[in-house]
């Protein structure tokens, strides 16, 4: 009888379903990989379906600010965007896209323990590193890109992502000028230019800011076409051809 009972109990144990905490070693359930499909900001995009590419630069300034360029992004609902992200700073930075609330919650967690995640809506880069995030923006609204490494968000590393039905990518408008002087060490270039079409400023000779990679392609006397913008209050060349 005892042998019969033991055999029956063993058979029941082998046939019953196993109730465990999931497949991950930390006990999380195995639905983690699907959670991004339900994010309010959209879902991971397919590289073959990219509609356009946005170049994003992460860096620090001499004044101690940390920032992204561009400072904001406008996207049409349904667009799949490839963010080409480059860290031109001297510190490690990350690029995370989410709702403002999601970034706030994540930032609070990071303040307690600096965690590096492997998520499709983010990328973390060492100095000089580059990578990409491909994302499909399926919902309208105002979202956010940010660096959530402790202290970086507070130093200026965040900006809005506006997604809407009628958002149209602005055509780049180039101004024209001639380079008169280059100060590579301070990141400044003097240009005698015509009307600045993006800032609506008249023709004159003035000093612009530019990053070191762009300055390395410049020479005195060179005629250039460029896109200018105000970044942290300073007139800066953001694109050149």
CATH 2.40.50.320 fits 175-240, yes or no: yes
| Claim: this prediction has a pTM higher than 0.85 | no
d(CA 207, CA 73): 26
pLDDT, tens only, 155-204:
999 999 999 876 654 556 899 999 999 999 999 999 999 999 888 899 99
Q: pLDDT per residue over 217-237, tens digit each?
A: 999 999 999 999 887 778 999
Q: How far apart are CA 99 and CA 101, in angstroms?
A: 5
Q: How far apart are CA 134 and CA 186, in angstroms?
A: 34
Supply the DSSP string of 133-148, one letter for each residue.
EEEE--S-EEEEEE--
Beta strand pairing status for 73-76 and 158-164? parallel
Contacts of 126 (CB under 8 A, 6+ apart): 87, 92
Question: Distances in Å between the alpha carbon of 166 and those of 71, 83, 133, 172?
Answer: 20, 21, 23, 18
CA quadruple 32, 36, 37, 40: dihedral positive or negative?
A: positive
CA distance 149 to 58: 13
Return the structure tokens found at 237: 């060349």
What gap in Å lies between CA 212 and CA 186, rounded to an integer?
A: 9
- Per residue in 80-124, pLDDT tens? 999 999 999 999 999 999 999 999 998 888 888 766 667 899 999
Q: What is the DSSP letter of 25?
A: T
Q: Domain locations in the chain? A: 37-164, 175-240
Determine which of 14-18, 62-66, 165-169 has the lowest per-residue pLDDT on average: 14-18
Give percent of the chain above pLDDT 70.
80
The encoded tokens of residue 195 equal 């009307």
CATH number at 37-164: 2.60.40.420
CA 85, 176, 182, 66: dihedral to nearest 10 degrees?
Answer: -30
Query: Smallest Cα–Cα separation from 70: which of 233, 224, 229?
Result: 229
Buried/exposed code over 27-62 (b: 16+ C-beta within 10 A; e: otherwise): eeeeeeeeeeeebebbbebeeeebeeebebbbbbbe
**Per-residue pLDDT at 198:** 83
């Amino acid at each position: 009888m005892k042998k019969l009972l033991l055999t029956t109990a063993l058979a029941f144990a082998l046939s019953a379903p196993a109730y465990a905490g999931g497949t991950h070693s930390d006990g999380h359930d195995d639905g983690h990989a699907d959670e991004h499909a339900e994010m309010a900001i959209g879902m991971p995009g397919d590289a073959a379906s990219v509609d356009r590419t946005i170049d994003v630069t992460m860096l620090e300034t001499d004044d101690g600010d940390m920032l992204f360029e561009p400072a904001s992004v406008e996207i049409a609902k349904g667009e799949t965007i490839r963010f080409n992200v480059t860290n031109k700073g001297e510190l490690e930075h990350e690029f995370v896209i989410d709702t403002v609330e999601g970034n706030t919650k994540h930032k609070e967690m990071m303040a307690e323990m600096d965690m590096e995640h492997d998520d499709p809506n983010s990328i973390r880069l060492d100095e000089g590193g580059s990578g990409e995030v491909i994302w499909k923006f399926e919902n309208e609204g105002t979202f956010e890109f940010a660096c959530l490494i402790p202290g970086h968000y507070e130093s200026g590393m965040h900006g809005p992502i506006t997604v809407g039905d009628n958002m149209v990518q602005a055509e780049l408008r180039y101004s024209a000028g001639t380079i008169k002087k280059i100060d590579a060490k301070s990141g400044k270039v003097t240009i005698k230019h015509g009307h600045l079409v993006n800032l609506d400023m008249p023709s004159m000779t003035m000093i612009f800011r530019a990053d070191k990679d762009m300055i390395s392609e410049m020479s005195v006397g060179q005629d250039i076409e460029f896109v200018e913008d105000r970044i942290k209050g300073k007139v800066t060349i953001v694109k050149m051809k």
